[in-house]
Structures are given as structure tokens and as C-alpha cells.
Amino acid sequence: MWPKKNKKLVSLGGGGAVLEEIEGEEEDDSDDEEDIQQQISDAEKKEAKVRVDLDESMKAAQQLMEKSKSDTTNNLPTELLSQCNTEISNFGEQLDNATKSREELAAKLRRCRLKRRMRESNIKDVLGKLDAVENEIDLVFIMDATGSMGPYIDGAKQTIRKIVEKIKADGKGKDLRLGFVAYRDIDLGSDRYQVLDFVDDVSVFERFLEGVKPIRNNDRAEDMAVGIQKANELSWMHPTRVAFIVGDDACHGTEFHDHGKSGDNYPTGTPGINIVSELSKLRTNPWGGTMNVF
């Protein structure tokens, strides 16, 4: 959950990345759609089982009630009926919880799908704009490569390949240069980041991409600041510039997330790097030309 009026780093298509005041609360919908679908399936099975248990308890209670009416000796233990009523109450509560859980997961899946469609729409929008561009393009991907990205990093690579293939296929002779920055975390030494400066050979880009592996860090926040800084240090040249930022968690600095100090080993931000300034630099594009940050 994002707390009310918390600052969050967001990227805006065509306008760069900015700090935005978040009103209200926003749930974390970063889970993979396939995982959520599996959770829904499990929740449905649990809900169905509880329904069966509830039906059986209600039938047992009904049988006891009927037997109680026909038992003239009045020797039917009342504790059995009380036990059935307790079971019915418990199963009823379990059913309510199971139904609520399934409905919440279904709503979460809808939000994930909506966000995916919005991201795909944004990507299609920028690709559509690039199709109309007749001059050269510098395209860089700035990607979180920490351990938490493990389940998603291959999917991110596939998406990146599709974007590159789309641009190359529809390029109509455009001169495309590709760059890549993988950022991780401050305490990882030489694995803190990996950088590929702009190349025009897609095979070189592909080989570099294959070498990017997730490495676990020690807290939830990531060193996004160094990733953006390294992107700013690339040899930008072409008049049209596009940057895609791909990640699953916030940058260092508790003003940007609600993980608390326990989830951020650098609660005041990445030492020596002002991420807002780096984002502003990337957005305003001091090298000239047009810049899009996603």
C-alpha cells in the first residue's frame, strides 16, 4: 500500500519521469497475471470444498433435528446438535472468507490486466510516434536486475526484443542505436550495474541482454538512481531519444515508498546521487533533440 499523500516516482510517456503526489492508497499489483490466476484457481477449489463441508454439516444438523422430534425417550444428546450448529457457523465464516478472498484476487487480476493494457498502449503509442520519425533513434532500456525480478526478467527481455524487432521491422531505413543499463543495488560491488553503451549491431545488444542475470540484494528498495545516472552518461547522439525504465520496486529513499527503514538500507537515498536531478536531466535532454521516458 502507498500511504496517503506519499511521493512516488512515476514515468510519464512523452514527458519524462516526475514526482507525483499520490492521493489515497494504491495497492501493489506487481504479481504476475499467471500467478494470480493460479491463486484464483486455488481459492475457487477451497471455496468449493468449504461449501461441501457446510452442506454436509447442515444435512447432519437437519437429521439430528428430525431425530430429536421423533425420539420420545428424549435421550438424544443435545451436545451433538450444539456441535453441528458450531460447525455450521464455522464453515459459514470460512465460506465468507473464501468467497471474499476469491473476489479480491479476481479484482486484482482485473487491475493487473488493465495496467498491462495501459503499458502496452503506451508502448504502442511511442512506437507509433517512432514510425513517423524519419531521423535516427537512440533507444535505451534501464532495467532492475535484482533477485526479485527473477520470475519476470525473461519476460522483460522478450518484451524488449519485441520492441526492438518492431522498430527494426518498421524502421524504413532509420538508424537505430541500442543501449542497456541493468541496475541492482549499492552493496553488490562490481555487480551493482551493467552498462552497454549505444551500439547499432542488434546481435551485440542481444548477447549483452543474455548476460544480464538477476542477483539478490539485501533490502526491498533498489538502486534505480545509479541506473538512471549511467543512462545519462551514455554517448547520446541521435536527435530522437527513447528510454524505457523497467522495474518492480521503488528506488532508495523512504520519501519514495512505504517500506520503512527496515526495507531500505539507504533511507535517505543513494549516496552521492540525487535521483530527482538525474530524472530531470534525462527528461529535459540537455543533448538536444526529443526525449521520451517510459
CATH number at residue 237: 3.40.50
Find which of 50-54, 196-200, 216-220 is predicted with most confidence, using mean pLDDT.
Answer: 196-200
Number of domains in the chain: 2
Provide the pLDDT confidence category of residue 126 given band limits of 50, 70 and 90.
low
Q: What is the pLDDT of residue 120?
A: 65
Provide the pLDDT confidence category of residue 257 given band limits of 50, 70 and 90.
confident
> Residue 251's closest CA among 239, 238, 268?
268
**Domain membership flag for residue 115:** no
Three-state DSSP class for residue 251: strand
DSSP code string of 47-108: HHHHHHHHHHHHHHHHHHHHHHHH-TT--S-HHHHHHHHHHHHHHHHHHHHHHHHHHHHHHH
Q: Compute the distance between CA of residue 134 and CA of residue 130 in angstroms, rounded to an integer.
A: 8
Domain match, 79 and 153 both: no
Domain match, 138 and 216 both: yes
**Domain membership flag for residue 30:** no
Q: What is the pLDDT of residue 133?
A: 63
**Domain membership flag for residue 15:** yes
Average pLDDT, stretch 213-231?
92
Q: What is the pLDDT of residue 1?
A: 27
Mean per-residue pLDDT over the chain, rounded: 76
Give the number of other Cβ atoms within 10 Å of residue 103's Cβ: 13
Domain match, 154 and 182 both: yes
Domain with 267, as residue range(s), is 6-25+133-293
Give the number of other Cβ atoms within 10 Å of residue 132's Cβ: 6
Domain match, 241 and 274 both: yes
> Does residue 70 surpass a pLDDT of 70?
no
C-alpha cell at 6: 506519499
pTM across the whole model: 0.60
Q: What is the pLDDT of residue 88?
A: 82
Q: What is the pLDDT of residue 29?
A: 45
**Domain membership flag for residue 19:** yes
**Domain membership flag for residue 128:** no
Domain match, 150 and 222 both: yes
Domain match, 175 and 252 both: yes
> Does residue 223 surpass a pLDDT of 90?
yes
